[in-house]
């Protein structure tokens, strides 16, 4: 009888011979290790997604004892014909795009700064992570105090500018409210992006910079030809993460403006919450949730395609 050889090149028992219990445990170990993850994903992620998609095709009346009614595409027809939905999508895309640009730009600049040696750099790096480490609710409380029309620090500084005679209502003016939501969300998120970019910068071999300097390359050429290609894949990943994180941002916007004024800061997650828990329209809220899920999935698929293309180019 011939021996079987497994994927690791190790000989197994001959065919037709029962394996030893220790060998059976060895082959079952990978499945045992994966099982908790599969159960977690299935019960807490896949099952709620399936339930949400199913609920978007029904009429849910939680306040009554009436049975759930199948309504087909009615919720989606209502959603696509609702001008408020398209306004929410525009606000969400604007907010997401601005946060990506601001947070990643600041994260890149600070990473380049902290990649250079200077005195007290370890302490400065620790202080850099403070905004990311602070929970969102204390962040909101701090900025509500800073932006207070009566005694806010920002108003005190604004009154020093020529032509400013009144305290600006930072969170009541539509353009200013959106700007502050972007700034606060970027301030909260950029340390994480900076840390990841810094790790990518330190992985670039210094010999490349030394050779380029010998050939007469200046700082801009070093960045464009060595640094940027070296962190390109990291930046692609961070763009996707920033898009997903900002797309689902809820706490900061909800606690500071609630989606106002006049819906100018109402993103899709705020709209879903208001629809479900203020207007108790659960069926329409699930349809909005499915729309948000599809957009997030599309962003993730774009990243996967970019990674596949990059792998194909490097092969």
13 vs 281 pLDDT, higher one: 281
Q: What does the pLDDT read at residue 172?
A: 85
Asked if pLDDT for residue 89 goes beyond 50, the answer is yes
154 vs 193 pLDDT, higher one: 193
Q: What does the pLDDT read at residue 45?
A: 87
Domains of the chain listed by start with CATH number:
82-314 (1.10.3720.10)
Asked if pLDDT for residue 292 goes beyond 70, the answer is yes
216 vs 92 pLDDT, higher one: 92
Asked if pLDDT for residue 3 goes beyond 50, the answer is no
Burial class (CB in 10 A: 0-12, 13-18, 19+), 315: exposed
Mean per-residue pLDDT over the chain, rounded? 84
What are the tens digits of pLDDT across the range 196-216? 999 999 888 888 888 888 888
What are the tens digits of pLDDT across the range 234-264? 898 898 889 888 988 999 999 998 888 888 8
- pLDDT category, 123, cuts 50, 70, 90? confident
Regarding pTM above 0.85, the answer is no
Q: What does the pLDDT read at residue 271?
A: 93
Mean pLDDT of 95-101: 93
């Amino acid at each position: 009888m011939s021996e079987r050889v497994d994927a690791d090149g190790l000989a197994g028992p001959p065919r037709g011979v029962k394996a030893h219990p220790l060998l059976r445990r060895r082959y079952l170990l990978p499945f045992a290790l994966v099982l908790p993850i599969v159960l977690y994903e299935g019960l807490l992620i896949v099952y709620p997604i399936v339930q949400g998609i199913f609920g978007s095709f029904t009429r849910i009346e939680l306040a009554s004892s009436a049975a759930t009614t199948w309504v087909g595409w009615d919720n989606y027809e209502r959603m696509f014909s609702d001008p408020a939905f398209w306004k929410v999508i525009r606000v969400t895309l604007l907010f997401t795009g601005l946060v990506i640009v601001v947070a990643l730009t600041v994260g890149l600049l600070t990473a380049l700064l902290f990649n250079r040696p200077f005195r007290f750099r370890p302490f400065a790096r620790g202080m850099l992570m403070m905004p990311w480490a602070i929970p969102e609710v204390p962040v909101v409380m701090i900025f509500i105090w800073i932006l207070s029309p009566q005694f806010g620090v920002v108003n005190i500084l604004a009154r020093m500018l020529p032509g400013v005679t009144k305290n600006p209502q930072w969170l009541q003016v539509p353009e200013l409210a959106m700007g502050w939501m972007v700034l606060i969300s970027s301030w909260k998120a950029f340390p994480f992006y900076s840390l990841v970019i810094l790790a990518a910068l330190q992985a670039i071999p210094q010999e490349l910079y030394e050779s380029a300097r010998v050939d007469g390359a200046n700082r801009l050429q070093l960045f464009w030809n060595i640094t940027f290609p070296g962190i390109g894949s990291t930046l692609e990943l961070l763009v996707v993460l920033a898009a997903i994180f900002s797309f689902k941002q809820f706490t900061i916007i909800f606690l500071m403006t609630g989606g106002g004024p006049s819906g100018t800061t109402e993103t899709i997650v705020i709209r879903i919450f208001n629809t479900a828990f203020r207007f108790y329209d659960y069926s329409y809220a699930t349809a909005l949730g499915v729309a948000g899920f599809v957009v997030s999935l599309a962003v993730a698929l774009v990243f996967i395609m970019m990674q596949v293309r990059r792998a194909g180019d490097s092969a």
